[in-house]
Amino acid sequence: MMFSIIEHIEYLITRHDCVVVPGWGAFIANYNASSYQAENEVMSRPRRSVGFNASVSHNDGLLAQSLMRREGLEYNEAMRFIADSVTTFRQQLAMDCEVSMGRLGYFRRNEGRFIEFVPFYHANGSDQFYGLEDLEIKDVATLEHEAAMAEETAAAAIVPKERNLFSRKAIRTAASIAVLVGLGILLSTPVIVNRDQHSMASMAPAVTAPQPQQLGVTVEQGVSSQAITTVDATPTIASVGNESGQYYMVIATLRNQQELDAFKNANKALVPYMKILKYKAFMCVYVARSNDYDTLMGLRSQLPEHLRDVWIYN
């Protein structure tokens, strides 16, 4: 399973007010109490927003201890891993002008060449406020006004109902009078019956079955069916010398053979390019090597999207 310092920072910021990345800066969680916004009639929930201070970059050991505890690294190995990650952040920022920090936010370089941290809106930096929502609270004057408007609407709806009841009674009376007049005319008028069977009208309705219609289909000559082509999903990673070079493009850091087999099974298209680099007790899977760092970074776009967060190791 591939790991990075980003997931450790996400975990630590939920339990500490400050997480320092040596050589990079400090992520700081600021507490914001709940408050009432009268213009929106909303009671905002409490939250902890995440910020960043680049001037605080000393090593307090918190991040290294997290790597040692979870990943089983020694202190020197953890510090080296942090330094390599910071180098990768700086190189990616110089090339793409943007570095993602997972669910916390991202760093970007603006037009003035200044680096700024943009936190995500949902990055609260604490699990204790999870599930809380802002409340819509209306003041007493607004509630009284809405109640008065509802009463006026209900009173106005009574008159149309009485008028409708009167109209229905008038219609029923007129219909009854019309029926009585029709019966009087029918009973007072003699009816002459003709017994000629040929001129008698049948009481049974005539039913004509619908005739089936034949749909004509014209096939134009010379038109061939569209050919179906298959797409080869295997990535076309350019050969940059997989057997030599001081830089390695690492796409996964695995602990044992079982994790390696599972990773290969999930990424079968990359198996022909995979090679193993032993790093302490881990197996680092890399797909390309080169003496030029920029060449390896340029190959990221040829990888599947979920593997483009590569680790350049030297």
**DSSP line for 29-52:** EEEE--EEETTTTEEEPPEEEEEE
The dihedrals phi and psi of 114, each to the nearest 5 degrees, come to: -90, 145
pLDDT higher than threshold 80 for residue 62 = yes
pLDDT higher than threshold 70 for residue 248 = yes
CA 259 to CA 257: how far, in whole Å?
A: 5
pLDDT higher than threshold 90 for residue 8 = yes
125 vs 31 pLDDT, higher one: 31
CA 200 to CA 193: how far, in whole Å?
A: 10
We find that the CATH architecture of domain 247-313 is: 2-Layer Sandwich (3.30)
Lowest-pLDDT choice from 5-19, 34-48, 162-176, 286-300: 162-176
pLDDT higher than threshold 80 for residue 116 = yes
pLDDT for 33 equals 79
> What residue type is 128 in one-letter code?
Q
> What residue type is 209 in one-letter code?
A
pLDDT for 80 equals 94
pLDDT higher than threshold 70 for residue 57 = yes
Please tell me which of 27-36, 81-90, 116-125, 285-294 the model is most confident about, judged by mean pLDDT: 81-90
Lowest-pLDDT choice from 83-87, 104-108, 175-179: 175-179
pLDDT for 240 equals 53
pLDDT higher than threshold 50 for residue 201 = no
Other beta carbons less than 10 A from residue 251's beta carbon: 25
What residue spans in the chain does CATH classification 3.30.70 cover? 247-313
309: left (phi over 0), alpha (psi -120 to 50) or beta: beta
Please tell me which of 58-67, 134-143, 179-188, 212-221 the model is most confident about, judged by mean pLDDT: 58-67
User: How far is CA 144 from its chain centroid?
Assistant: 41
- 250 and 309 Cβ atoms separated by less than 8 Å: no
For CA atoms 138, 141, 142, 148, the dihedral sign is: positive
**Mean pLDDT rounded to a whole number for the chain:** 74
Q: What is the pLDDT of residues 277-297, one digit of tens each?
A: 887 778 889 888 888 888 888
pLDDT for 87 equals 93
pLDDT higher than threshold 90 for residue 81 = yes
Q: Could you give the C-alpha distances from 27 to 18, 120, 133, in angstroms and in order?
A: 6, 13, 25
pTM comes to 0.43
pLDDT for 193 equals 42
Confidence band, pLDDT 50/70/90 cuts, at residue 122:
low
- 32 and 46 Cβ atoms separated by less than 8 Å: yes
What proportion of the chain, given as a percentage, has pLDDT over 70? Answer: 67
Other beta carbons less than 10 A from residue 235's beta carbon: 17
304 vs 156 pLDDT, higher one: 304
CA 302 to CA 31: how far, in whole Å?
A: 42
CA 13 to CA 11: how far, in whole Å?
A: 6
Query: What is the mean predicted confidence (pLDDT) over 44-69?
Result: 86
For CA atoms 142, 143, 148, 151, the dihedral sign is: positive
Please tell me which of 128-142, 192-206, 226-240 the model is most confident about, judged by mean pLDDT: 128-142
Query: What is the mean predicted confidence (pLDDT) over 192-216?
Result: 43
pLDDT for 182 equals 66
pLDDT higher than threshold 60 for residue 206 = no
